[in-house]
Structure 1
Amino acid sequence: MRLSTRIALAVGCTVPLLVLAAGWLLLGLVARDLHRAEDRHLQQRAVALAPEARALLRASANGRPKAADTRERRLFSTALDVGVRLVGPDATFRGGPQPDPSVPLPDASAGFVTVRSAGRSWRALVRQVRTPAAAGTLWLFAPDTADRAQVRLVRNRVLLTAVLAAPLSGLLAWGLAAGASAPLARLTRRTAGLDPRTSTARLPEEHTGVREVDELAATLRTVLARYDEQAARTGQALDTARSFSSAAAHELRTPLMSMGTNLDILAGHPDLPAAERAEVLADLHREHARLLGLLVMLRDLGRADLVEADAFRPVDLSDLADTAVAEARRRAPDADITLDAAPGLTVHGWEPGLRLLLDNLLGNALAHGRDAQGRARVRVGVSRAEGGLLVAVDDQGPGVPPDARARIFERFQRGPDSAGSGLGLTLVAQQAALHRGSVTVTDGPDGTGARFTVRLPADGGGLSGDGGGLPGRRDWLIGTAGADRDWPIGTAGANRSQSFPKDRP
Structure 2
Amino acid sequence: MRLSTRIGLAVGCTVPLLVAASGWLLLNLVGRDLHRVEDDHLRQRAAAVAPDARALLRATENGRPRAADTRERQLFTAALDVGVRVVGPDATYSGGPQPGTSVRLPDRVTGPVTVRAAGRSWRVLSRPMQGPAVSGTLWVFSPDTADRAQLRAVRRRVVLTAVLAAPLSGLLAWGLASGASAPLARLTRRTAGLDPRTSAARLDHRPTGVTEVDELAATVRTVLARYDEQAARTAEALDTARSFSAAAAHELRTPLMSMGTNLDILAAHPALPEPDRTEVLTDLRHEHARLLGLLVMLRELGRGDLVEAEAFRTVDVSEAADAAVAEARRRAPDAGITLAAPPGLTVHGWEPGLRLVLDNLLGNALAHGRDPRGRARVEVGVRGAGDQVVITVDDHGAGVPAGSRARIFERFQRGPDSAGSGLGLTLVAQQAALHRGSVTVTDAPGGTGARFEVRLPSGGGALPGRRDWLIGTAGANRSQSFAKDRP
**TM-score, structure 1 as length reference:** 0.88
Q: Deviations over 1:351-389 (max 9, x none)?
A: 222111111111212222223333322221111122121
The residue matched to 1:489 in structure 2 has which SS?
A: helix
Q: 1:326–1:144: structure 2 CA closer, same or farther, 3 Å change rule? A: closer
Q: Secondary structure at the match of 1:174?
A: helix
Aligned pairs (5 A) from 1:18-29 = 18-29=18-29
Q: Secondary structure at the match of 1:383?
A: strand
Report SS of the residue matched to 2:207: coil
Question: 1:480/1:259 Cα in 2 relative to 1: closer, same or farther (>3 Å)?
Answer: same
Shift in Å, 1:481: 4.0
Q: 1:193 — aligned with what? A: 193
Q: Does 1:317 align with 2:317?
A: yes
Q: Distance in 1 between matches of 2:270 and 2:454?
A: 52
**In structure 1, what is the Cα distance between the partners aligned to 2:357 and 2:430?**
9
Conservation of the 8 A alpha-carbon contact between 1:108 and 1:127: no
Sort the Cα spacing of 1:490 and 1:59 in 2 relative to 1 into closer, same or farther, 3 A. Answer: same
* Matches of 2:20 and 2:125, distance apart in 1: 33
Give 1:470's aligned residue: 463
Q: 1: distance between equivalents of 2:104 and 2:453?
A: 113
User: What residue in structure 2 maps to residue 38 of structure 1?
Assistant: 38
- Which TM-score applies when normalising by structure 2? 0.91
Structure 2: give runs of 5+ residues left out of the alignment: none
What letter corresponds to residue 475 of structure 1 in structure 2? Answer: D
Q: Are residues 386 and 220 of structure 1, via their aligned partners in 2, closer, same or farther at CA, if it must alter by over 3 Å?
A: same
Report the counterpart of residue 427 of structure 1 in structure 2. 427
Q: Deviations over 1:224-280 (max 9, x none)?
A: 233222222222222222211111111111222222222233333344444333333
CA spacing shift, 1:129–1:144, aligned 2, 3 Å: same
Residues 35 and 164 of structure 1: CA distance in aligned 2, closer, same or farther (over 3 Å): same
Contact 2:59 2:68 in 1 (8 A): yes
Contact between 2:429 and 2:479, CA under 8 Å: does it hold in 1?
no
Q: Give, in whole Å, the separation in 1 of the partners of 2:273 and 2:63.
A: 167
Query: C-alpha separation between the residues in 1 aligned to 2:232 and 2:52?
Result: 107
Provide, for residues 131-178 of structure 1, a one-character-per-residue CA deviation record: whole Å limited to 9, x for no partner: 644433222222111111111112112222222222222233323333
Q: Any stretches of 5+ residues in structure 1 without a counterpart?
A: 463-468, 492-505
Contact 2:439 2:483 in 1 (8 A): no
Q: Is the 8 A contact 1:111 1:127 kept in 2?
A: no
- Give the partner amino acid of 1:17: L
Distance 2:134 2:100 in 1: 25
Corresponding residue for residue 383 of structure 1: 383
Distance 1:262 1:99, change over 3 A: same
> Hey, what does 2:360 align to over in structure 1?
360
2:210 counterpart of 1:210: yes
Q: 2 CA distance for matches of 1:131 and 1:244?
A: 119
Sequence identity, in percent? 79
Post-superposition Cα deviations, 1:39-98, rounded to whole Å, max 9, x if no partner, equal 233333334433433343343334343443343334334433322222222221222221
Residues 346-357 of structure 1 correspond to what in structure 2 (within 5 A)? Answer: 346-357=346-357
Given the superposition, is the C-alpha separation of residues 334 and 89 from structure 1 closer, same or farther in structure 2, using an over 3 Å criterion?
closer
Q: Give secondary structure in 2 for the equivalent of 1:85.
A: strand
The CA distance in 1 between the partners of 2:205 and 2:386, in whole Å, is 39
For 2:60, the equivalent position in structure 1 comes to 60
Structure with greater helix share of residues: 2
Describe the shift of the 1:126–1:79 C-alpha distance in structure 2 as closer, same or farther (beyond 3 A): same
After TM superposition, the structure 1 stretch with the greater mean CA deviation from structure 2, 95-104 or 28-37, is: 28-37
CA drift at 1:425: 0.8
Check the 8 A contact 2:467/2:474 in 1, yes or no.
no
User: Hey, what does 1:438 align to over in structure 2?
Assistant: 438
Residue 452 of structure 1: CA displacement? 0.8
Instruction: Give 2:117's aligned residue.
Output: 117
1:432 and 1:135, CA in 2 relative to 1: closer, same or farther beyond 3 A? Answer: same
Greater CA drift, 482-491 or 237-246: 482-491
Q: Give 1:109 shift.
A: 4.6
CA distance in structure 2 between the aligned counterparts of 1:358 and 1:242, rounded to whole angstroms: 28
Across the two proteins, how many residue pairs are aligned to each other?
A: 484
- Show CA shifts across 1:290-315 (max 9, x none): 22221121111112212222222222
Alignment partners' CA distance in 1, 2:449 and 2:269 = 45
